[in-house]
Amino acid sequence: ATGLVTLDPGYKNTGSTTSAITFLDGEKGVLRYRGYNIEELAEKASFLEVAYLIIFGELPDQASLTKFQTDVTNHTLIHEDMRKIFDGFPTTSHPMVVLSSLISVLSTFYPGSMESNRSDEEVYMSIVRLIAKVPTIAAWSYKNEMGHPVNYPDNSLNYGARFLKMMFALPTQEYDIDPVMVSALNKILILHADHEQNCSTSTIRIVGSSLANIYASVASATNALSGPLHGGANQQVIEMLEAIHSSGATIDEFMEKVKNREMRLMGFGHRVYKNFDPRAKILKKACDDILSKMGIEDPLLDIAKKLEKIALEDEFFIERKLYPNVDFYSGIIYRAMNLPTDMFTVMFAMGRLPGWIAQWKEMLEMKQPIGRPRQIYTGENERSFVPMSDRK
Ligand code: SDX
């Protein structure tokens, strides 16, 4: 192709596609999945109901939801041969590495997913398998890290309760499902479910555009999410709050470091939201609710609130339109749920999974061409080969 190439590093001003899945308004702080505001969905829907909505486009009627729930429940087990692969990971493995590796490995157990002319049934089953098996893989990656025996999914429980039991049940004692934690998990997964063309979603669209199978495409998105500027930020936020708490440094001293760019205020700022991230608003309130219901006093929440208050009144942040994003409060809730910090981004991936799947599916249904942007070359002009004897 010839003609002008417009450079746009990071695609800050590039629309990569049309999409009917998620609408967000960065100025007004609006986020809707298939037209429904997240405020309503987070209060009134279940995560599987929202996953169905995002992937298939409509809120399911009772029969469709029951079928989807049953299909997911019947596929929560992972093939026993995957245990051998699991056992190969050192306990020092970051759960995001285990998660993306094993999502990729799933394709070897379902060869039908590798065909480029996959049937609709094959696509539906690979969607069900991912939604069903990612929580099992996530919980097992945690058990691998703890050196604890893995728990098999208890299919008498709902999605959230089943995951928490796989995560925290121990052979040494009864595990009681805490409804506060189940409802907090449901809400936080819904809030992460999609976010239009963010880094990891753009990744799944471009990897999927080569007709790579769905498991490879989701594994690629998982890897993109693991970066500290993206999904990895929720782990960074807590580590930042813990550092402030343990260092005894005052918040003003910390803010000075941020303002002279020694570090970033993790969990703040957003490419699109130049006002409050609506998810952060909901999560901030959820923090207060959950911690008070669980009778937890978390000093990091107080530090977070002080940081937010200062940042919202400080010229440096105001002129850069930096507000708390989804990652700023989510870590506080994960801590209340006794999750270790390196599982936080895994929780983000579990929540974002339906969004990745929906965007992958939409890209294929739109028959979009393989992603292949251009560049402006700034390297050397033509030159001849230099024999070793002549090299300096
Ligand atoms: C997610 O895209 C999505 O939708 C992502 C996400 C999703 O749901 O998929 O919403 C999830 O990834 C949320 C973001 C999580 N990341 C963080 O919290 C990490 C900290 N935030 C940033 O690094 C930053 O704000 C980004 C990456 C989120 C956005 O970066 P941009 O849009 O590329 O903006 P930038 O890096 O060019 O910064 C603009 C200015 C710069 O100032 P100058 O150097 O020009 O003077 O703002 C400053 C930056 O230095 N800045 C910050 C800052 N974020 C930006 N300064 C201090 N602390 C920060 N957090």
Pocket test for ligand 1, best of 190, 200, 325, 329 (most atoms within 8 A of CB): 325
Q: How far does residue 144's CA lie from ligand 1's centre (Å)?
A: 33
Residue 24 pairs in a beta bridge with 31
* pLDDT recorded at residue 1: 46
Which of 2-11, 104-113, 204-213 is the most confident on average?
Answer: 204-213
CB 58 within 8 A of CB 306: no
Cα-based distances in Å from 341 to 32, 281, 338: 28, 21, 9
Q: Do 124 and 113 meet the contact criterion of CB atoms below 8 Å apart?
A: no
Residues noted as catalytic: 270, 327
Tell me the C-alpha distance between 101 and 93, whole Å.
11
Q: What is the mean pLDDT of residues 382-392?
A: 96
Say how many Å lie between the CA of residue 81 and the centre of ligand 1. Answer: 41
Question: Best mutation site among 199, 203, 257, 271 for ligand 1, i.e. most ligand atoms within 8 A of its Cβ?
Answer: 271
- Taking the centre of ligand 1 as the mean of its atom positions, its distance from the CA of residue 114, in whole angstroms, is 36
Contact by Cβ (8 Å): 265, 311? yes
CA 268 to ligand 1 centroid distance, Å: 7
Q: Residues 37-49: what's their mean pLDDT?
A: 97
Which residues have CB under 8 Å from 94's CB, separation 6+?
226, 342
**Does 351 score more than 70 pLDDT?**
yes
Residues 39-65, mean pLDDT to the nearest whole number:
98
Q: Cα(98) to centroid of ligand 1, in Å?
A: 27
With a Cβ cut-off of 6 Å, ligand 1 is lined by 10, 195, 198, 229-230, 233, 258, 264-271, 320, 322, 325-327
CA atoms within 13 A on the CB side of 389: 0
Q: Give the closest residue to 215 by CA, choosing from 114, 298, 141.
A: 114
Spacing, Cα 80 to ligand 1 middle (Å)? 41
CA of 320 to the centre of ligand 1 (A): 10
Give 324's DSSP letter. Answer: B
ipTM of the shown complex: 0.92
| Cβ atoms < 10 Å from Cβ of 269 | 21
Counting from 1 in the atom list of ligand 1, the atom nearest the Cα of 270 is 28
Positive/negative CA dihedral, 163, 166, 167, 169: positive
d(CA 36, CA 50): 10
Q: pTM above 0.90?
A: yes
Amino acid at 187: K
Give the per-residue pLDDT at 276.
87
- DSSP reduced 3-state for 174: coil
What is the DSSP code (8-state) at residue 11? G
CA angle 273, 277, 281 (to 5 degrees): 165
In 3-state terms, what secondary structure has residue 259? helix
| pLDDT for residue 2 | 54
Q: What is the pLDDT of residues 107-117, one digit of tens each?
A: 999 988 888 78
The protein residue with its alpha carbon nearest to ligand 1, atom 47, reads 320
Which residue has its alpha carbon closest to ligand 1 atom 11? Answer: 230
Closest C-alpha to ligand 1, atom 13: 230
- The four Cα atoms 216, 217, 220, 225 give a dihedral, to 10 degrees, of -140
* Closest CA to ligand 1's atom 30: 271
Mean pLDDT of all residues belonging to the chain: 93
CA-proximal residue: ligand 1, atom 55 (nearest): 269
In angstroms, the CA 33 to CA 58 distance is 10
What is the model's pLDDT at position 179? 93
* Separation in Å, CA 274 to CA 10, 11, 29: 17, 17, 8
Q: Indicate which residue's Cα is closest to atom 43 of ligand 1.
A: 320
Report the candidate in 46, 139, 38, 145 with the shortest Cα–Cα distance to residue 89: 145
Which residue type is seen at 115? E
Asked if residue 184 lies in contact with residue 47, where contact means CB atoms within 8 angstroms, the answer is no
Q: Give the model confidence (pLDDT) of 53-83 as tens digits.
A: 999 999 999 999 999 999 999 999 999 999 8
Which H or E element spans position 31? Answer: strand 30-33
To test the pocket of ligand 1, the residue of 32, 230, 344 to mutate (highest count of ligand atoms within 8 Å of its CB) is 230
242-283 confidence digits (pLDDT tens): 999 998 788 888 899 999 999 899 999 998 888 889 999 999
| CA-proximal residue: ligand 1, atom 16 (nearest) | 229
Token output for 106: 């799933």
Taking alpha carbons only, the member of 20, 359, 51, 68 closest to residue 198 is 359
Residue 46: strand, helix, or coil: coil
Average pLDDT over residues 329-357: 94
Among the residue ranges 141-145, 194-198, 358-362, the one predicted with the least confidence is 141-145
Q: What is the DSSP letter of 150?
A: P
The Cα 137–Cα 75 span in angstroms is 12
pLDDT of residue 117: 81
| 195 CA closest ligand 1 atom index | 8
pLDDT mean over 309-324: 90
* Distance of alpha carbon 274 from alpha carbon 367, whole angstroms: 33
Q: Which of 31, 268, 308 to mutate to test the pocket of ligand 1 (most atoms within 8 A of CB)?
A: 268
Map residue 143 onto helix, strand or coil.
helix
Nearest to 186 by CA among 342, 355, 44: 44
Q: Residue 198: enclosing H or E segment and its boundaries?
A: none
